[in-house]
Each structure stands twice: as C-alpha cells, then as structure tokens.
Amino acid sequence: MNGIRTVIRWLTPVVILAAGVAVFRFLGTQPPPERKPIEKPAATQVHAIEVVRESGGLTIDLDGVVVPLREVTLAAEVAGRVLRKAEACRAGRFVSAGTLLFEIDPRDYELDVARLERESSQAALTIEETEAEIEQNVVAIDLAAQQIELARREVKRLDGLKANRIVTESEHDRALREELTATTTLTNLQGQGRILQKRKSRLEEALVLAGTMLDRAKLELTRTRVVAPSDGIVVEDHAEQDSYVAKGTALVTIEDTSKAEIRTSLQMDELARIWRSAGLADPLAGGPHELPDTPVTVVFMVGDRGYEWDGFLSRQEGRGLDEKTRSLPCRVIVDEPTRVRALDRYGVPLETPPPGSPRSLMRGMFVQIRVHIDSPTAIVSIPEEGRRPNGEVWVIRDGRLEILRPRPAQVAGGRAFFESAPTGLMAGDRVVTSQINHPRTGMPVAELAPSAAATTGAKDDT
C-alpha cells in the first residue's frame, strides 16, 4: 500500500507537467487574432466667430464730473452805501455779461470828480496867465536891451565931450548912472523870465497831477457800478441793499457758465495711445506736461435716454499721478455747454429734445467721456466671449488650433479691441468660442456649420 502511494506521489507532478505542456502546444497552434488599424483622432467640433476690422480708430471710455470753469468773487472796489441791488443778483439766478448787479452811492465820488475838474481848470488858467507874463517879460527884456544900448552910446558921446571940457563931470556921471540903471533893469527882467519859466513848469506838473487825480476819481466813480464780468450763475450774494460796504468787501460769487469743464482721469497706457494718435511717439516731443487737443464726446444719461456734448481734452491738472488710483487727473473743456444733442434709447439722435431734457451741462453732473483717437495700426475686434478668462484667444488656422495671448487695446460695449499688427489677430480670422478640454496649439479642430451650430446649441440648451 505504501508503495502505491509513493508511486502516485511521484507520478502526479509529472502528469500535471505533461498536461500543461500539451495545453501550451495546443494553444500555440491557434492563429493570431485579426488586428484592426488604429483610427486617427477626429477633429474637435467647435463654434467660432469672425474677427472684424474696425474703422474710425479707438474710443476710450472714461468717467467724469462737471466742475465750474471758474468762480469769480466780485468785491467792492470803493466804500459806500449800497444804493441799489439788482433783482437778478440772487443765488441761483442766471446773469448775462454786463448786467448791473450793485450800485454804490456815487455822490461822494461825483463831488470829487467835480472838484478835481475845477482844480484842473484853475491850473490851466494859471498857466495861461504865466505864459502871458512870460511874453510880457520877453518884450520888457528887449526894451531894456535897447535902453542899455542907448545909455552906452550916450556915455561914449559924453566921454569925448568931457575930454574937451564941453560937458561937466556931473553930466557924465548921470549918463553912467543911467547905463547902470538900464543894465540892472535888464538883469532883473531876465531873472523874472527864468522864475516865470520855472513857475510855468511847476504849474504844468500840477495840472498833470490834477489830471491824474481826476482820472482816478472818474475810475472810482465807475467802480460804484458792479456788473457781471461774464455769463454765469449767481452762487452766493453777500450784501444787501442799503448796507454799508467797505473797500474789499465781497459782494457776490458768480460761476462762469460760458464754458464747462469736466474733471476726469487717464491711465498711463491710455495717455500713451493719445500721444501716439497725435504723432508724438516720444511724449517729451510735445512738452512733458502738454496734452494734444483730442476730441471727445460727453454723455449724460437720464433713465434710458442720453444727451451728448462735443468737447476736447484740454490739459492735465498738474498734480501728477493720483497716489490712490495711479492715474493722471485731466480736464475736458466743452466750449458750448448749452448745445446738447438728445438721443433715444438706441443711441439715435433726436431732432427735437424731449420735455425735461437738460438745457446745459451743470456742475456736479456725473458724465461719461468718450475720447476719440486714431490708431497707427489696424484695429480688429471680437465679442468678449471669444476671449478666455486667462486672456487667451483660440484661433482656427488651417484646421489647427492656434493659441494667442494678445493684449487688448480696449474692452467696451461687449467687444474686445486689439491692434492687429502686434497681436497677430487679423481681420477674417475665426475665433473659437466653444469650451475645449485640454486645448493645445496644433490640435485639429473643425468649425460647426451655422445650422449645425444652431442645432447643437438648441440641444445643449435642452
């Protein structure tokens, strides 16, 4: 029995090994399975939109607030009682240039003018009297000179007669005294003539001074009437009728409305585009603090209606960059703040402004500013959905996907605008709007036909 068990124990592995070899040989004689060819990956089906070329350059959208062009505070230039205050000189009233606002009692200044006019007349009469005395002095000097000449000839004649003892010594001395008297008279007359000339000069200076004082008195008389220097709105009125005002007392503050000014801010890249559009590749070429006169459109919204004004970018405020926003404060000028264009809800101009339309730009209005600039390169645009959240734009070229990372020149109105040359986007390019898993440059893509795209879109919506 033990022998049989030993034989079975030795034969069992052999039998198992033989069976395995037989099975392996049997399987090895079967033909290999038929191999199918590997199919190339199919192109990803995507939706795409066209890159559109824009005309008319770029428009930079800014926010701004209307501020006064200037505020003028009129003060009393002369002292006196306020004789009259115009009814229009009240806060909130509109006044035109030249409108009389205040009249200060002019009687003191009228009296000064009358007094100085009389003083000037008296000075002129005194000068005329002096001139007459000078003319008389000239005649007297001429007569005195003739008298001297006669006295000298008389002395010479008596000198000869004295030598011949024809005349006495006393007669000769008398002739000498007459000569000396005539000489003294001439000397006195010449001195009087010089004094008269000096007196005339002094009187002429006094007349000039009186004329100057008269001009000042007339100027002060005109200053008793305070008029509006320009069209504007009365912001504050500080004085009332019958009150006394001293020289320098503030009377009224007027906001100039002949033009309107808007405060806004520009980012540095926007400022660089404005410089380039004006042909200033180098900002210092036009002055480090100068801005080109760039046209703008000012828009004020009331509900769903808009109102437009034409203006231009005027200057920077001169304070440099704002520390908080890192932008440059600038000013926009509107030359005709009352020339407004009304738009309907679709942006179409209306021939007649509807009731309740603003008649003018007013301080405090929050407005939109559209700065119109020309670009030296072609501008193209795509809807915003064609631009990925990370800034990529997927373009279909020759059935392959090309991934671009263009920097937009502007994003506004639901579209992104690009400068064609530096970004590589060209008008007519097809931009993918569909989502793609693991996109990569060079992957095959195929644009869905419009009908298929619409059907797919409807299924996706379902």
What's the whole-number average pLDDT of the chain?
A: 82
Same domain, 178 and 283: no
Q: What is the mean pLDDT of residues 48-61?
A: 84
Q: Where in the sequence is the domain holding 292, given as residue range(s)?
A: 58-67+259-373
The pLDDT value given to residue 60: 83
In this structure, of 253-262, 323-332, 416-425, the range with the lowest mean pLDDT score is 416-425
Cα–Cα distance for residue pair 282/397, rounded to 1 Å? 37
Confidence of residue 363 (pLDDT cuts 50, 70, 90): confident
Give the C-alpha separation, 280 to 315, whole Å.
Answer: 16
- Looking at the fold, whether 281 and 133 belong to one and the same domain comes out as no
User: Which of 80, 134, 141, 136 shows the shortest CA–CA distance to 109?
Assistant: 80
What pLDDT does residue 452 have? 41
Nearest Cα neighbor of 50 from 457, 351, 456, 429 is 429
**Among 46-50, 65-69, 172-176, 255-259, the least confident range:** 172-176
Shared domain check, 346 and 325: yes
Q: Looking at the structure, do residues 234 and 182 belong to the same domain, yes or no?
A: no
Does residue 41 sit within a domain?
Answer: no
What confidence score (pLDDT) does residue 288 get?
Answer: 57
Look at residues 373, 391, 426 and tell me which one is the last residue of a structural domain: 373
pLDDT at 453: 41
In a domain, 3, yes or no: no
Identify which of 33-37, 351-355, 413-417 has the greatest average pLDDT.
Answer: 413-417
**When comparing pLDDT for 408 and 78, which is higher?**
78
The predicted-structure confidence for 398-417, as pLDDT tens digits, reads as follows 888 899 988 888 787 788 88
Give residue 462's pLDDT: 29
User: Taken in order 243, 247, 250, 254, is the CA torsion positive or negative?
Assistant: positive
Per-residue pLDDT at 166 exceeds 70: no
Per-residue pLDDT band for 31 (boundaries 50, 70, 90) equals low
pLDDT attached to residue 145: 86
Q: How far is CA 378 from the centre of its chain?
A: 30
Residue 320 phi/psi, 5-degree rounding, is 80, -165
| Six-digit token string for 191 | 């001195």
What's the pLDDT band for 66 if we cut at 50, 70, 90?
very high
Nearest CA to 307 among 362, 373, 371, 231? Answer: 362
Whether this model's pTM surpasses 0.75: no
Q: Mapping DSSP to helix (H, G, I), strand (E, B) and coil, where does residue 36 land?
A: coil
Checking if the pLDDT of 277 tops 80, the result is no
Same domain assignment for residues 115 and 92: no
Residue 460 pLDDT greater than 70, yes or no: no
Quickly list DSSP for 342-371: EE-TTSPBPSSPPTT--SS--TT-EEEEEE
CATH number at residue 355: 2.40.30.170
More confident residue, 384 or 165: 384
Evaluate if residue 281 carries a pLDDT over 60. no
Q: How far is CA 28 from CA 23, 36, 258, 371, in A?
A: 9, 21, 105, 83
How much is the pLDDT for 246?
Answer: 93
Instruction: Give the domain CATH number at 416.
Output: 2.40.420.20
For residue 288, is it within any domain?
yes
158-172, 176-190, 342-356, 381-395: range with lowest mean pLDDT: 158-172
Same domain, 263 and 336: yes
Look up residue 447 and give its two tokens.
Answer: 């644009």
Which candidate, 42, 44, 41, 39, places its Cα nearest to that of 396? Answer: 44
In a domain, 281, yes or no: yes
Cα separation of 459 and 462, whole Å?
Answer: 5
Banded model confidence at residue 3, pLDDT cuts 50, 70, 90: low
Residue 64 has pLDDT above 50, yes or no: yes
DSSP 8-state code for residue 92: T
Decide if 27 is inside a domain. no
Q: How many domains does the chain have?
A: 4
Looking at the structure, tell me whether residues 205 and 270 fall in a common domain: no
Position 435, amino acid: Q
Task: Report if residue 23 sits inside a domain.
Answer: no
Residue 144: predicted pLDDT: 83
Q: Is 337 exposed, middle or buried (0-12, 13-18, 19+ CB in 10 A)?
A: buried
What pLDDT sits at residue 451?
Answer: 46
Q: Is the pLDDT of residue 426 over 50?
A: yes
- d(CA 182, CA 171) in angstroms, rounded, equals 17
pLDDT value, residue 458:
34
Of the two residues 165 and 381, the one the predictor is more confident about is 381
349, 373, 397: which is the final residue of a domain?
373
Cβ–Cβ under 8 Å, residues 249 and 76: yes
Based on C-alpha coordinates, what's the Rg of the chain? 53
pLDDT tens for 79-136 read: 999 999 999 899 888 898 889 999 999 999 999 999 999 989 998 999 898 889 888 8
Q: What percent of the chain has pLDDT over 70?
A: 85
